[in-house]
Amino acid sequence: MRYSNCFVPTLRDVPADAEVISHQLLLRAGYIRRVTSGVYDYLPLALRVLRRIEAIIREEMEKAGAQELLMPMVQPAELWEKSDRMAKYGPELLRFKDRHDHESCLGPTHEEVICDLMSRELRSYKQLPINLYQIQNKFRDEIRPRFGLMRGREFVMKDAYSFHADDESLMAEYRNMFDTYTRIFDRLGLRFRPVEADTGSIGGNDSHEFHVLADSGEDVIAHCDGCDYAANVEKAVSVRSVPAGTPAALAELHTPGVTSAEDVAAFVGIEPALLIKTLVYRVCGGEQDGAIVAACVRGDDQLQEVKLIHALAADAVELASDAEIEAIGGVTGFVGPVGLQQAELWMDIGLQGAIGMVAGANRRDLHVTGLDVARDVAQARFIDLRETRAGDRCSHCDGSIALSRGIEVGQVFALGRRYTEPMEVQFQNQQGKREIATMGCYGIGVSRLMAAVVEQCHDEGGIAWPDVLAPFTVILVSMGQSDGVMEASGDIYQQLKRAGVDVLWDERKERPGVKFKDAELIGIPLQVVMGDRGLAEGVAEFGRRGGDRREIAVADVVAETLAELASGGRTAV
Amino acid sequence: MRYSNCFVPTLRDVPADAEVISHQLLLRAGYIRRVTSGVYDYLPLALRVLRRIEAIIREEMEKAGAQELLMPMVQPAELWEKSDRMAKYGPELLRFKDRHDHESCLGPTHEEVICDLMSRELRSYKQLPINLYQIQNKFRDEIRPRFGLMRGREFVMKDAYSFHADDESLMAEYRNMFDTYTRIFDRLGLRFRPVEADTGSIGGNDSHEFHVLADSGEDVIAHCDGCDYAANVEKAVSVRSVPAGTPAALAELHTPGVTSAEDVAAFVGIEPALLIKTLVYRVCGGEQDGAIVAACVRGDDQLQEVKLIHALAADAVELASDAEIEAIGGVTGFVGPVGLQQAELWMDIGLQGAIGMVAGANRRDLHVTGLDVARDVAQARFIDLRETRAGDRCSHCDGSIALSRGIEVGQVFALGRRYTEPMEVQFQNQQGKREIATMGCYGIGVSRLMAAVVEQCHDEGGIAWPDVLAPFTVILVSMGQSDGVMEASGDIYQQLKRAGVDVLWDERKERPGVKFKDAELIGIPLQVVMGDRGLAEGVAEFGRRGGDRREIAVADVVAETLAELASGGRTAV
């Protein structure tokens, strides 16, 4: 394509409100423009990249035996009532009424629609297993859309849904999809890591997320340096050594105005690990909706709320108000596990059997010392509640846990019968009996992937696309506008096109400096430069973006380009 | 692909609520399933057809110099306020508020979004002309979705928008797009006709619609048998000879209870063409919103409301109530042009100069005779208001007008500055002055096209896809399940795949009758049949769907297939 015919509105300055580098570069390089909060136009260069990502995903999904279909964006609310998610999904599910007053919503995901389809079309075990996928725009009404394509409201997603006669078949497909995702992200040239994940609002049993490693990632993932254990910190477990407390009788200690874990530890003169930190929450959603619960971790730990939410089978938890704390017999700032009434008490497993601990006394300006959890806290339920920290010991080997930031670009779920049961996805088994199918679902954030690639692949000059994703593989830069240069350039352009190379010919009447800046910024991997000087000698300059260029014979441009692409040389990362 | 791995839920019976053949066949052949009113799942076969249509559209759009981009489905209402369509568009524009209470809508079309983009990115005349298009899901909240994909609510559309420095450039692109559309519909193998069209709610100056000819079409198009004049009846003009009235004085005639045009003509003993039929409307939208107007045509003509709406620059008209008719001095059943007060009076141009006419007297049970339009109706405005009928004379030549039914699958608009002016799409011209750009827009209903093709291409057995659109080009039917047949079929299957042929291998354990019925129903153009008998002789049966099959050597299957496809032989239509 000729540059003059390509709509690429590059910007010289960094846009004011773009915080992360992918957002800045995609705006500056003329890939995207904001329409409204979390909603973007994909300009021609961006669409070309999206299409390349989609093509790789399609190829691997088809190889894996999945079939593509297309479901609608607008969904009837009754399907969400049937799956019991209409109330549960929260305000991210954008709801509206159509002109006939039918409650509808914009699809943030399609479990309901596909189950509705399968409940009508599935008849026999002979139709199973089946895996159906689509690539389609989704809408999630995020409370705070940010970081450009990283957390948008309308976004492109690949979502796949598989149905099975039994869980063995489901787990085989789960592994098949896990491997397929690994192949997809490998082909995209990304540094990524699959991690164990919480199942969140989708539900089900097993789940893995695929994270692209990047400092700007919103997720924290824990991984072991000794084995291949890796998990989202929302779910990660680890072990650590804690100091042993000294056996003692339960006693009260006057601690006027001393409330934070650090202050209490300093005031008492103990390590924070010997303190019990108690948090009181209001449960949102689920069977205990509205209930007040207490949860304890050691003073130097952080409570990982997702683990508590999971244990409560709730949609969310919110910190309780002072009045709610009082209602269960607590006092804000001095809450402790001893003496709380009418509230479920959850304790981190690391507190099981702890002795000589210090905790709030549930009375103003008082703590208790010598607390023996087994002796003094009868009603506690022990689960893993603490957030894994860097330096913890792996629970699978002797290795040490490290934390990294990641951008979640894919997730696979072994849903089981979470949706197929309420939505009546049934089939006749070999014995002629009706059975409920079991189900998996598998998502990839296609537009987010584009941003994630930029987070990993950029330098000071702009975006450094991997060859397989670049909107054009080669940029041909004409230096000056002399007839000779334009003619020689036009000739190279035609040759590259005939060879099937996606080439962008910068034939604009612009200074060379402007052209090179734009070429770097938009991130085309290979550069061919034709100027008056080379013209005389029959040579062009050839090289990778961000590297040195060398002179090659004009006659060799096509061959050199193809060789360079075949070598798969990656751009600087 | 193997048939067993392809999700094609065919039905034996015609679905009860499907009225038109494309709706019936797309359901029966397992292409689509209804999700909710006017909203469908596109199952794998349908998606393959959609992708083929899209590929042809893309190829021709790119050849024509357009660039693809992708805009969002969710649009902020403020853009529609700016273009002044928020109120005008009516309830087809689905509006809602997001969680932050921002008024938004689901895009039924994208003039606003693209103008917003261009108003920010367009700087210089050097960027013009430019044509940007997308293929994307749209939503229009139709009051009565029907006929399956023909009039759905969520549908796939190709929409293109061009911007220009002047109207000469706009009209050149308009012709370019007209020609491009002609090429696209030609390549799709459709019998179609471009016709002059009303500009409707999109607005602008010139417009043409592209209609696929089919009896089930919702539109009526008028075309001349002597020249290439063709227009939607909403806009079509024509001439006809009318009997001359006899000059007379205006007189009253007692016509008790005689109100319909036919009855009045019979009662008076004149031809209906000598009667003036007067209709009273309430204007909806536009500057005259709420006003009551009267409109007259000859007694044997029908008033074409779209022409009146256009003349009034309104969004719609509705028949006035008895009270509203009274308020302007009329009496329902006896309304006439003489003596109406405080109402605009529009008359069909064919009534200009008419004499000796009969009309309602605006008094109960009374008509007037001897009406001389020029003498008695001073305030009338004459425009073309009548609906063209079959047999009318062409207004361009001596030919005769015929009417056909059509399915509108494309429309091109020379919009001018209808949107660019309110939305401030400006550029700096060669003299350095700011100017408002002029604009065109060009749509193709991609999913409706799929239905339109089925309306034209089907027979008793099912869908008869043109080669270029079929989800698979060849269906390979294995007769029986013997090792020999399966092995020979597998071999042919691999050979066809290697030759790049899209082949569907029906290797199911089903009776031959079931397989052939399904093959006909889903409409694969070429059939290769492998059975035990042929196996012994090394032959397979080969033929077109709906035609005879002949025996060919197994070794020749690939060559015969490629030859047949190259011949472009069309399936029975």
DSSP string, A85-128: -TTTTGGGS-EEE-TT--EEEE-S--HHHHHHHHHHH--BGGG-
Local confidence band at B572 (pLDDT 50, 70, 90 cut-offs):
very low
Average pLDDT, chain B: 93
| Calpha distance A34→B113 (Å, rounded) | 10
Given an 8 Å threshold on Cβ–Cβ distance, is B72 in contact with A104?
no
Nearest CA in chain A to B49: A69
Both tokens of A227, joined, read 């084995």
Judge whether residue B414 has pLDDT over 90.
yes
Nearest CA in chain B to A79: B35
Amino acid at B348: D
Contacts of A40 in chain B (CB under 8 A): 72
| Calpha distance A189→A341 (Å, rounded) | 55
Alpha helix locations (H) across B233-317? Answer: 261-268, 305-312
Q: How many CB atoms lie within 10 A of CB B132?
A: 22
Residue A74 Cα, gap to closest chain B Cα (Å): 7
Local confidence band at B324 (pLDDT 50, 70, 90 cut-offs):
very high
The reported pLDDT for the residue numbered B204 is 66
Residue B206 Cα, gap to closest chain A Cα (Å): 26
Local confidence band at A79 (pLDDT 50, 70, 90 cut-offs):
very high
> Which residues are CB-contacts of B212 (< 8 A; sequence separation ≥ 6)?
B185, B190, B191, B192, B406, B407, B409, B449, B452, B453, B455, B456
Q: If you ran DSSP here, which 8-state letter would residue B400 be given? A: B
Residue of B69, B95, B111, B131 to mutate when probing chain A, most A C-beta within 10 A: B69
pLDDT per position as a tens digit, A423-452: 999 999 999 999 999 999 999 999 999 999
Of A5, A94, A143, the CB nearest to B65: A5
The reported pLDDT for the residue numbered B7 is 97
The reported pLDDT for the residue numbered A107 is 94
Local confidence band at A571 (pLDDT 50, 70, 90 cut-offs):
very low
Please answer whether residues B330 and B296 qualify as being in contact, where contact means their C-beta atoms are separated by less than 8 angstroms.
no
Measured between alpha carbons, how far is residue B146 from residues A327, B13, B40, B421 in Å?
Answer: 58, 20, 12, 36
What mean pLDDT do residues A94-105 have?
94
Please answer whether residues A407 and A219 qualify as being in contact, where contact means their C-beta atoms are separated by less than 8 angstroms.
yes
Measured between alpha carbons, how far is residue B559 from residues A357, A547, B59, B496 in Å?
Answer: 85, 49, 27, 9
Quickly list DSSP for A398-410: S-BEEEEEEEEEE
3-class DSSP assignment, residue B263: helix
Residue A530 Cα, gap to closest chain B Cα (Å): 24
- Roughly what angle, to the nearest 10 degrees, separates helices A44-63 and A446-456? 110
Residue A132 Cα, gap to closest chain B Cα (Å): 9
Burial of B61 (0-12, 13-18, 19+ CB in 10 A): buried
Contacts of B7 in chain A (CB under 8 A): 67, 69, 121, 130, 132
Residue of A26, A34, A40, A73 to mutate when probing chain B, most B C-beta within 10 A: A73
Nearest CA in chain B to A9: B121
Of A46, A98, A117, the CB nearest to B94: A98
Given an 8 Å threshold on Cβ–Cβ distance, is B33 in contact with A121?
yes
| Calpha distance B470→B468 (Å, rounded) | 6
Please answer whether residues A198 and A207 qualify as being in contact, where contact means their C-beta atoms are separated by less than 8 angstroms.
yes
The answer to whether the Cα torsion of A250, A255, A259, A260 is positive or negative is negative
* A492 vs A261 pLDDT, higher one: A492
The pair phi, psi for residue B117, each rounded to 5°, is: -60, -50
Both tokens of A306, joined, read 């997702």
Beta-carbon contacts below 8 Å between A and B: 144
The reported pLDDT for the residue numbered B203 is 62
The reported pLDDT for the residue numbered A573 is 34
Of A44, A72, A94, the CB nearest to B40: A72
Please answer whether residues B501 and B470 qualify as being in contact, where contact means their C-beta atoms are separated by less than 8 angstroms.
no
| Calpha distance B262→B244 (Å, rounded) | 18
Both tokens of A384, joined, read 């893993």
| Calpha distance B141→B139 (Å, rounded) | 6
Share of chain B above pLDDT 90, in %: 86
Given an 8 Å threshold on Cβ–Cβ distance, is A121 in contact with B9?
yes
- Roughly what angle, to the nearest 10 degrees, separates helices A446-456 and A21-28? 100
CA angle A504, A510, A511 (to 5 degrees): 110
Q: How many CB atoms lie within 10 A of CB B454?
A: 29
Please answer whether residues A419 and A112 qualify as being in contact, where contact means their C-beta atoms are separated by less than 8 angstroms.
yes
The reported pLDDT for the residue numbered A243 is 85
Listed in order, strand segments (DSSP E) in A239-315 are 251-254, 276-284, 292-298
pLDDT per position as a tens digit, B507-557: 999 999 999 999 999 999 999 999 998 888 999 999 999 999 999 999 999
CA-wise closest residue to A401 among A388, A412, A414, A410: A388
Local confidence band at B247 (pLDDT 50, 70, 90 cut-offs):
very high
Range with the poorest average pLDDT among B31-45, B111-125, B249-263? B249-263
Cis peptide before B129 (omega within 30 of 0): yes
Domains of chain B: 44-236+403-455 (3.30.930.10), 251-383 (3.90.960.10), 465-567 (3.40.50.800)
Residue B41 Cα, gap to closest chain A Cα (Å): 5
| Calpha distance B473→B524 (Å, rounded) | 6
pLDDT per position as a tens digit, B438-468: 999 999 999 999 999 999 999 999 999 999 9
Average pLDDT, chain A: 93
Residue B19 Cα, gap to closest chain A Cα (Å): 21
Given an 8 Å threshold on Cβ–Cβ distance, is A72 in contact with B154?
yes
pLDDT per position as a tens digit, A239-296: 988 888 899 999 999 999 998 888 999 999 999 999 999 999 999 988 899 999 999 9
Given an 8 Å threshold on Cβ–Cβ distance, is A106 in contact with B74?
yes
CA-wise closest residue to A471 among B324, B310, B69, B116: B69
- Residue whose pair of structure tokens reads 């192949």 in the numeric block: A183
Contacts of A47 in chain B (CB under 8 A): 68-70
- Per DSSP bridges, beta strands B95-97 and B67-68 are unpaired
Judge whether residue B201 has pLDDT over 80.
no
Residue B44 Cα, gap to closest chain A Cα (Å): 5
Contacts of A106 in chain B (CB under 8 A): 74, 106
Cis peptide before B247 (omega within 30 of 0): no
Of B33, B46, B73, the CB nearest to A137: B73
Judge whether residue A203 has pLDDT over 70.
no
Nearest CA in chain B to A91: B99
Buried b (16+ CB within 10 A) or exposed e, A277-309: bbbbbbbbbeeeeebbbbbbbbbbbebbbbbbb
CA-wise closest residue to A159 among A181, A176, A136: A136
